Amino acid sequence: MAQVSDKHLLITQKAGSLVLFDMDSGVKTLVGGAPKVAVIGQGGLLDVAVPSDYKLGDGDLGWIYFTYAAPVNNDMGATALGRAKLNDSLTALQNWQTLLVTKSASEEGRHFGSRIAFIGDYVFFGVGDRGNRANGQDLTTHAGSIIRLHRDGRVPADNPFVGRGGALPEIWSYGHRNPQGLAVRKGQLWESEHGPRGGDELNRIEKGGNYGWAEVSLGKEYWGPLSVGEESKPGMIDAKKVYIPSIAPGSLLTVKQNRYDWQGDFLLGALKLQHLNRVVMRGESVTNEQRYFEEENQRLRALLEDSKGRIWIATDSGELWQLQ
């Protein structure tokens, strides 16, 4: 979800459609011009986001960013980043630009990521390991990494692997399993990702950082009680918080306003354990955790804080909630 005007949210649907939601009236309308997507397992139309200086209709600042599974060779999909603008009537996208189709193509329908975040003039997005554990430590593929680009798709000269043989220059960090949450807190990028059976992580992302997957994980194998990897390893960055058992975090939000007295804390939408997960932060340390809406039995897919400080939650069943 992304707020694209004073009263409108733009919402992606995995099958490839876009919905404009009027926050005042509750009216939903379809928006045309979405990119062609590969609907393969978990793949399809994924995230939508706008930077903090977004202005509807502005020539330079009116860009809306999308991640999606791009069709590759008919039967494969790869996580991709693109951008477009809304037309004046808010009925269709226009001026579509494909910024990067990642080197992550696979017939597997798993672990596409993906969320988008912005810091200054840079855009970040996550790519899952595509179901191949070895990808997490392989810098010749984008799978299992977080990507950093200029907003227009150019590779920044100060990316950590620019000019390094055997590494893709778009990579900012690696060793990720399936990052489905990206958020900025006090100018620093944070990420949440799915572990296997246990071992979901909340990470503070560092330039060039290796987050361990699949050599380091606190999760277990799906077929038995054996650990996937080691608990920690030199040269690999430990998570700030690990969830055992898994909650399956499908989104991550930094609360910036104080409508709910949560300013500076993280919210995660839990898919498996079906609740809103509040992580209380002091500095860069997790001090407490609270869980809400478990009684609703809903998979919480997307979170947004609007310009008035209201929290919106989208569920996998198609419901949209506003917290009071």
Question: How does DSSP assign 133-187, residue by residue?
Answer: GGGGG-TTSSTTEEEEEETTSPPPTTSTTTT-TTS-TTEEEE--S-EEEEEEETT
- Both 238 and 317 in a single domain? no
Give the pLDDT confidence of 221-260 residue by residue, as tens digits: 988 888 999 999 999 999 999 999 999 999 999 999 999 9
* Helix (H/G/I), strand (E/B), else coil: 301: strand
- Both 276 and 230 in a single domain? no
- Both 86 and 159 in a single domain? yes
Residue 224 is predicted with a pLDDT of 84
In order of 23, 253, 304, 318, the CA distances from 301 in angstroms are 19, 12, 11, 10
- 52 prior amide bond cis, ω within 30: no
Residue 172 is predicted with a pLDDT of 99
Give the pLDDT confidence of 108-166 residue by residue, as tens digits: 999 999 999 999 999 999 999 999 999 999 999 999 999 999 999 999 999 999 999 99
Of the three residues 246, 267, 289, the one that is the final residue of a domain is 246
- Both 15 and 70 in a single domain? yes
Give the pLDDT confidence of 258-288 residue by residue, as tens digits: 999 999 999 999 999 999 999 999 999 999 9
| Nearby residues of 303 by Cβ (< 8 Å), 6 or more positions away | 1, 251, 252, 253, 267, 268, 269, 276, 311, 312, 313, 314
Is 75's pLDDT higher than 90?
no
- Both 184 and 279 in a single domain? no
**Consecutive H or E run containing 210:** none
Of the three residues 217, 246, 275, the one that is the final residue of a domain is 246
- Both 118 and 260 in a single domain? no
Q: Give the integer Cα–Cα distance in Å for 1 and 21.
A: 10
Residue 190 is predicted with a pLDDT of 99
In order of 261, 283, 293, 298, 301, the CA distances from 280 in angstroms are 11, 10, 17, 22, 20
- Both 170 and 129 in a single domain? yes
Residue 7 is predicted with a pLDDT of 97
- Both 19 and 141 in a single domain? yes
| Confidence band, pLDDT 50/70/90 cuts, at residue 294 | very high
The position carrying tokens 């509807």 is 56
- Residue 129 near residue 104, CB atoms below 8 Å: no
In order of 114, 147, 215, 232, the CA distances from 125 in angstroms are 6, 5, 22, 25
Give the pLDDT confidence of 194-221 residue by residue, as tens digits: 999 999 999 999 999 999 999 999 999 9
Residue 79 is predicted with a pLDDT of 99
C-alpha 304: how far from chain center? 12
Is 74's pLDDT higher than 90?
no
Residue 8 is predicted with a pLDDT of 98
Structural domain boundaries enclosing 307: 247-324
Q: How many domains does the chain have?
A: 2
Residue 323 is predicted with a pLDDT of 96
The two tokens of residue 208 are 């060039």
